[in-house]
Each structure stands twice: as structure tokens, then as C-alpha cells.
Amino acid sequence: MEGFLPIEHAVGWSIASAPFVAWGIRSVNRRIRENPEQRMLLGVAAAFTFVLSALKLPSVTGSCSHPTGTGLGAVLFGPAAMAPIGAVVLLFQALLLAHGGLTTLGANLFSMAIVGPFAAYGIFQLARRLKASFAVSIFLAASLADLLTYVTTSVQLAWAFPDPVGGFTVSFLKFAGIFAITQIPLAISEGLLTVVIFNALARFNPQELRDMQVLGKPEAQA
Amino acid sequence: MKGRQNLLLLLAVVLLAALPLWLVEKPAPDALDAEGKPVEIFGGADGKAQELIGKINPDYQPWFQPLLEPASNEIASLLFALQAALGAGFIGYYLGSAVTREKLKREQEKQVDKARQASASEDNNRGKDAHAG
């Protein structure tokens, strides 16, 4: 999508995303200084995003898209941490793969590395407070974050390219028809995969997850 | 139990990825779209969005080109595979070392237990000796 976002939108989204990236770098640095042993787990969160955003999966709409993988890191390290991690992944794809794009980096950061992770974190906390099980909370957080990322993309494009007749709303529905609908089965896949990796982490690192206050006491023993 | 849950979840992911290939109707081989190009399925959603932008605003010209484009689709899939392999490799390494750490810890605990039992029975014997003496 390189060059497909008008320049004022490209600049605007970059300005909107920059403070989150700065906040994320600070929060990640502080965490690593206080708990150096969490460095590896942070690597896992980044690696998960790396894998999932490389998986272009077919969808029921007849087109392909990829998951984002940001829910895992957001639940583990808080939502801000995913902004710099997302920036690394998006830069890799923009520079080497001509996928995404440098001019759309700000907009993509905002949808994938800011809206998605904040949604994941909020949904996870809410689901836990509503006494949903750990697996269900993780599933909802990861899959809805994935979906909301693409809803945000649709909003961004509709804002830049309002329909000449129907304006923003009609345009949004059209873009959402491409991105959000395609994303539904992919979002479910991402939710399931995030539960799988959390199961593995909780099985072998229960103490670490408990220290990070991700796992409650009862689940950690299971 | 957890192992089986993971297996079922992974199976569901595979099904979700495979079902569209089966459900989406293939276009007729000679079908053409509005612009007279052959209809393709399972192209990227990004490409569809670019088409839509062209429809909404036909005058819009992309103002920037990718600095570096993969030389061909084959090279692009190489790079995507590399990206996935790097990520999966790291996750595999982390889980592998976590499994080993857990195993070593359990073995150590077992040994400590054994040593404690041994010393306990020794104490017992000594107690008996003392009694006998």
C-alpha cells in the first residue's frame, strides 16, 4: 500500500503513533532493567508477531490476509510494549518485502501496534474481571484485537478516501467489506493460536507468568 | 489434558485455513472482471483495497514507491518464509529451553528427596544403635 495514503494522512498518523512508540520503548526498557530475566519472554512476544504477520491465510471472502499476533505481547507486557515491537515488524516488511509501506507506517502502527494491543489488554482485563476463564479471556483479547486492527485500517482508508456519493460511511463499509470481513476467520485463528502459546508458556513458566500478574494463583497450579 | 486441548486448537486453525479453499467458488477459467482482466481468487486484501481506492478516486496517484521490491513472487515468498522461520525458531528455542529447565529442576528435586530419605533412614538406624547401646 506504499504511497496509497495521501501525504497529510501519512504524516498525521505518524505524528499520532510516535508518542506511543516512545512510551513503549521507555516501558520496555524499564521492565528489562528491573526484570532482566523477562528479556527472553519479550523476544517470544516479538517472535510471535513476526510469525503471525508472515502467515498470509486464505479467507472465506476469497482473498488473503494475515493475523497480527499483537495480543500475546499486550497481555504479557502491557499495551504500550507492542508499539516498538510492531514498529520493528512493520519496518522489516516495508523495507524488505514491499509489504505495508514506509509512507503508511504511521497508519499501520496505529492500527496494528496501538489500537490492537490496547484493545487486547482492555478486553483481557475486562474478561478476567467478569470471571471468564483464562483461555477464554486470552482468546477474546487476541481475536478481537486482530479484528479491531483491520476495522481501524478501514476507518483510516475511508477517512482518506470518502465515497463521492455516500461519504465516509459508505466508504468505510466498502473497506470493511474487504478488510474486516476477510479478517473474521483469521482473527479466530489468531485467538486460538494465542491460547496455544499461552498454554505452553503457562505449563513451563508458571512462576514467571505469576510474577508478571498475568496468571492468577489457581490457574498457575493447573 | 492441556496437550490434547492444544492439539484440538491447532486442528481448528488448520481447518479454518483450509475451509475457504474449499468453500470459495472458483471463477470460470475465462471469467473477466470489470477491467477485462482474468478474475483471480485468494489475492491479497491489500490489492483489493488498492482497486477500491482506484474506483472511489480514479485520479489518485500513489506518490511513493517501495524502495526495495522483491525481485519476483518467488523471492517474496522466500522472505516471508524466512520471517516466519526466524520467529518460529526463536519460540521453539525458548520453549525447548523452558522444558529442559523444568525437567532438570524436577530431577534435582527428586535427588534432594532421595538424599533426605537416605539421611533420614540413617538417623533412624543411628537412633536404634544408640538405643541398643
Q: pLDDT (tens digit, 9 = 90+) per residue, B82-127?
A: 999 999 999 999 999 998 988 898 899 999 999 988 888 877 777 6
Interface-testing mutation among B33, B53, B77, B100, with chain A (most A C-beta atoms within 10 A): B53
Residue B23 belongs to a domain: yes
Partners of B38 in beta bridges: B32
Does B46 lie in the same domain as B3? yes
Query: What is the reported pLDDT for A219?
Result: 54
Does residue B1 belong to any structural domain of this protein? yes
Domain hosting residue B2, numbered range: 1-61
Mean pLDDT for the stretch of residues A25-49: 94
For residue B52, which residues of chain A lie inside 8 Å, CB to CB?
A: 161, 174-175, 178
DSSP class per residue in A117-177: HHHHHHHHHHHHHTT--HHHHHHHHHHHHHHHHHHHHHHHHHHHS-BTTTHHHHHHHHHHH
pTM as predicted: 0.89
Contacts of A92 in chain B (CB under 8 A): 83
Helix A134-160 × helix A167-204 angle, to 10°: 150
Q: Which of A40, A49, A50, A149 to probe by mutation at the B interface, max B CB count within 10 Å?
A: A50
Q: In this model, does residue A169 exceed pLDDT 60?
A: yes
CA of B106: which chain A residue's CA is closest?
Answer: A204
State whether residue A185 sits within 8 Å of chain B by CB: yes
Please judge whether B45 and A65 are an interchain contact, meaning their C-beta atoms are less than 8 angstroms apart. Answer: yes
Q: Are residues B56 and B1 in the same domain?
A: yes
- The span from the CA of A62 to the CA of B109, in Å, is 55
| Nearest C-alpha neighbor of A89 from the set A58, A118, A48, A32 | A48
Q: In terms of domains, do B56 and B84 share one?
A: no
Domains and CATH numbers, chain A: 7-212 (1.10.1760.20)
Chosen domain end from B17, B37, B61: B61
Amino acid B1: pLDDT = 56
Considering the domain architecture, whether residues B52 and B1 belong to the same structural domain is answered as yes
What is the nearest CA distance from B129 to chain A, expressed in angstroms?
A: 43
- By C-alpha distance, the chain A residue nearest B5 is A196
Condensed to tens digits (0 to 9), the pLDDT of residues B3-43 reads 688 999 999 999 999 999 988 888 777 777 666 677 778 88
How many domains does chain B contain in total?
2
Chain A contacts of B44, Cβ < 8 Å? 56, 63-65
Burial class (CB in 10 A: 0-12, 13-18, 19+), A16: middle
Rg over CA atoms, chain B:
32
Crossing angle of helices B73-132/A39-54, nearest 10°?
Answer: 150
CA–CA separation, A113 and A135 (whole Å): 22
Q: Is residue B67 part of a domain?
A: no
Kindly report the average pLDDT of chain A as a whole number. Answer: 93
Q: Is B6 in the same domain as B57? A: yes
The answer to whether the Cβ–Cβ distance between A63 and B91 falls below 8 Å is no
Chain B residues lying within 8 Å of A192, measured CB to CB: 9-10, 12-13, 16
Q: Residue B4 domain-assigned?
A: yes
Q: Do A63 and B45 touch (CB under 8 A)?
A: yes
Which pLDDT band, with edges at 50, 70 and 90, does A211 fall under? confident
φ and ψ of B32, to 5 deg = -120, 145
CB within 8 Å: B45 and A178: yes
Q: Does A97 sit within 8 Å of B76, measured CB to CB?
A: yes
Closest CA to A43 of A76, A14, A5, A6: A76
User: Which residues of A, range 22-61, sit inside 8 Å of B by Cβ?
Assistant: 40-41, 43-44, 46-61
> What ipTM was assigned to the predicted interfaces of this complex?
0.89
**Quick one: B76 and B120 in the same domain?**
yes
Instruction: Answer whether A5 touches B (CB < 8 Å).
Output: no
Give A129→chain B minimum CA distance, Å: 24
The beta-carbon neighbor of B63 closest among A3, A62, A174 is: A3
Domain end (from B14, B31, B61):
B61
Same domain, residue pair B43 and B85: no
- Look at phi and psi of residue A59 and say left if phi exceeds 0, alpha if psi is from -120 to 50, else beta: beta
Average pLDDT, stretch A172-193? 95
Chain A residues with CB-CB distance to B71 below 8 A: none
Q: Is residue B40 part of a domain?
A: yes
- The answer to whether A175 contacts B49, with C-beta atoms less than 8 Å apart, is yes
Which three three-digit cell numbers place residue A70?
499483537
Question: How close B39 comes to chain A (CA, Å)?
Answer: 11
Q: Model confidence at A221, in pLDDT bands (50, 70, 90)?
A: very low
**A57-58 and A63-65: which strand pairing?**
antiparallel
Residues of A in contact with B39 (CB under 8 A): none
Residue B76 shares a structural domain with residue B56: no
B30 assigned to some structural domain: yes
Q: Which three cell numbers stand for residue A4?
A: 496509497
Chain B contact present for A103, CB below 8 A: yes
